[in-house]
Structure 1
Amino acid sequence: MTSTMEDRFHSLSSQNKDLKKDLSQEIQKVQAEVSKNRTELKKLADEVKHVQILATKNKKDIATHEEEIDSLQRKLIYMEDYSRRSNLKLINFELQDKREMKKEILAWFNSSLPQQLVERAIERVHYIGNAKGGVSRPILIRFTSYAIKEQLMSTIRAKPELLKRDARIVQVYQDISRESFEWRKTMKPVTSALRKHNFKYNWGFPIFLKVWKGSTLHTIYSLEEGEQLLKAWNIQLEK
């Protein structure tokens, strides 16, 4: 009986020892796997951190490049508008003799406006664009100097009623680039509010708006800036 119990004890002890050994081996395997996973996780975390650093740098680079592109675009627009600064566009001006465009337009200016222009004040005259809605094609006039053109525009702004020709109202516009034209269209809510509240403004180059409040000059480069400025003056934009 005693021998049987001893044999049973030794058998169980041996099995227990084997189980502990197996368990220890399994634990070691798990620990090795955990250690491996930790190493891989750390490596992955380092890679993620590296990617985040690169992403941050790339965002900064992209922002810098966008600023440079925006600056270059503004310079190009400025150069384009500057090359047109001595030009005017006439709309709804019906020529009687298309072969004598320059002489006919010069004669109309001199008969309509206080100042007298000599023929050499106009460098060239030609049609642009297409006729629309029964209105004749726009006419582009290039003056020999910006000063002459601005003097004419100042007179026209002060006395728009002078712009009549055979019961037609002739429209006179600055010649600007397509980009400036589109930008000015986006600013219509601001300019409408300014006119409604009797604020003086005019357009600057390359693309900004100059607004006077009293003796102070303000510059606006975007619709958002215009909204903020008018809000500060308690003026709401029309929706």
Structure 2
Amino acid sequence: MEQDLGPATRQDIRRLQDFIAEELARNTRALTAEVQVIGTRTARLEERAEAFADTCNTLAHHAETLATRVETLEEALEDLSNRSRRNNIRLRGLPESVAPDALDATLTGIMKKLLPALPPARYLIDRIHRTLGARKGQNAPPRDVVARLHYYSTREALLRTARDQQVEYEDGQLLFFQDLAPSTLAKRREWRVVTELLRSHNVRYSWGFPFRILVHKDGRTYSCTHLYRAQDFLHQLGLEVPEAIAQLTPPSSLPRLSRDWSPAGD
């Protein structure tokens, strides 16, 4: 027989209300506990993320400081290398047929022709040799000759004279250059677009040490040390800035981590 269900009494409704309230309270307590656990974990994660950001920013600062110091040391080393080569000349075009033990006498003879007014003692050569490394094949150009002259004034006079007249040896042209550190030569090649622009406008320039380019104009001296600063340098000289220079930007600093969160509970 089916049980005859009558209408719910007030007591039944109260028991149902108590049951629902108890279930809601139990579930609320469970959810509250879970939220508290999640909040605690989130707070710890935020603290760790904050410490991580601070550590990364500190490391970025140290890295930039070290990069600046390394650049300073490299510039000092480059300057020392160039100073040690101050009395050197680099001779290009001297045939390989000139034996190593004949290099001294050969260069001395060339200097006597170019600088006949110098006293004999001023032709003194401290050391002379060809550049290191084997020659690249029989048809390759002869290796350069590097010589250290005892007197700096002789070296300057030789470079100045060779710049103004053509020098030949056995029907071949000889070229005289400063002997510079490889890093300095690489930097000068990077500045070629600027130096070609200066020459096209008949603007005389020179190189300074530590590395910089110098221009004397209208009683003033203009200098620039880095290629990305050449735009302002050319503006000061009243010259149009090439597109290749206008696109250069200063080295960017390392990125820093920011705090894009708020502590738990805020």
Offset of residue 206 of structure 1: 3.4
Map 1:147-166 onto structure 2 (within 5 A): 147-157=153-163, 159=164, 161-166=165-170
* Secondary structure of residue in 2 paired with 1:235: coil
TM-score, reference length from structure 1: 0.86
1:148 deviation in Å?
Answer: 2.8
| Secondary structure of residue in 2 paired with 1:101 | helix
Q: Which runs of 4+ in 1 moved over 6 A?
A: none
Please state how far the C-alpha of 1:117 moved relative to its aligned partner: 5.3
Judge which range, 85-94 or 197-206, deviates more. 197-206
Deviating more after overlay: 93-102 vs 172-181 = 93-102
Contact 1:202/1:211 (8 A) holds in 2? yes
Partner of 2:242: 237
**3-state SS of 2:239 partner:** coil
- Cα deviation for residue 86 of structure 1 reads 0.9
Is the deviation greater in 114-123 or in 25-34?
114-123
Which SS does the other structure have where 1:172 is aligned?
A: strand
Kindly indicate whether residue 177 of structure 2 is the aligned counterpart of residue 176 of structure 1. Answer: no
Deviations 1:186-205 (A, max 9, x none): 11111111111111112222
Q: Paired residue for 1:213?
A: 217
The one-letter amino acid of 1:13's match is R
Matched residue type, 1:172: F
Q: In 1, Cα distance between the equivalents of 2:204 and 2:72?
A: 28
Query: Do the aligned partners of residues 115 and 134 (structure 1) sit closer, same or farther apart at CA in structure 2, a change above 3 Å counting?
Result: farther
Alignment of 1:45-194 (within 5 A): 45-94=46-95, 98=99, 99-113=101-115, 115-116=117-118, 118-119=120-121, 121-129=124-132, 131=135, 134-157=140-163, 159=164, 161-194=165-198
Structure 1 distance, partners of 2:35, 2:209, is 66
SS in 2 for 1:170: strand
Aligned mate of 2:199, from 195, 200, 203: 195
User: Displacement, 1:173?
Assistant: 0.8
Q: Which moved more, 1:219-228 or 1:78-87?
A: 219-228
What's the C-alpha RMSD, in Å, of the aligned pairs? 2.4
CA gap 1:114/1:203 in 2 versus in 1, 3 angstroms:
farther
Query: In terms of mean alpha carbon deviation, does 146-155 or 180-189 score higher?
Result: 146-155
**C-alpha distance in 2 between matches for 1:204 and 1:46:** 52
Q: Percent identity?
A: 20
- Once the 2 structures are TM-superposed, how far is the Cα of residue 14 of structure 1 from its aligned partner? 0.9
Q: Which has the higher contact order (CA 8 A, sep 6+)?
A: 2
CA contact (8 A) 1:95 1:104 kept: no
Bigger mean CA offset, 35-44 vs 61-70? 35-44
Change in 2 beyond 3 A, CA 1:96/1:56: closer
Query: CA shift at 1:126, angstroms?
Result: 1.5
Q: Is the 8 A contact 2:96 2:143 kept in 1?
A: no
Match of 2:248 in 1: none
CA distance in 2, matches of 1:169, 1:227: 37
TM-score w.r.t. length of structure 2: 0.78
Alignment check: 8 A CA contact 2:94 2:142 kept: yes
Shift of 1:211: 2.0
Q: What is the Cα deviation at residue 52 of structure 1?
A: 1.3
SS of the aligned residue for 2:242 comes to coil
The unaligned stretches of length 5 or more in structure 2 are 1-5, 245-266
Q: Deviations over 1:174-218 (max 9, x none)?
A: 111111111111111111111111111122223222222222222
Paired AA for residue 109 in structure 1: M
Amino acid at match of 2:210: P
User: What residue identity is the alignment partner of 2:131?
Assistant: I
The size of the alignment, in residue pairs, is: 233
User: SS at the partner of 2:26?
Assistant: helix
Secondary structure in structure 2 of the residue aligned to 1:209: strand
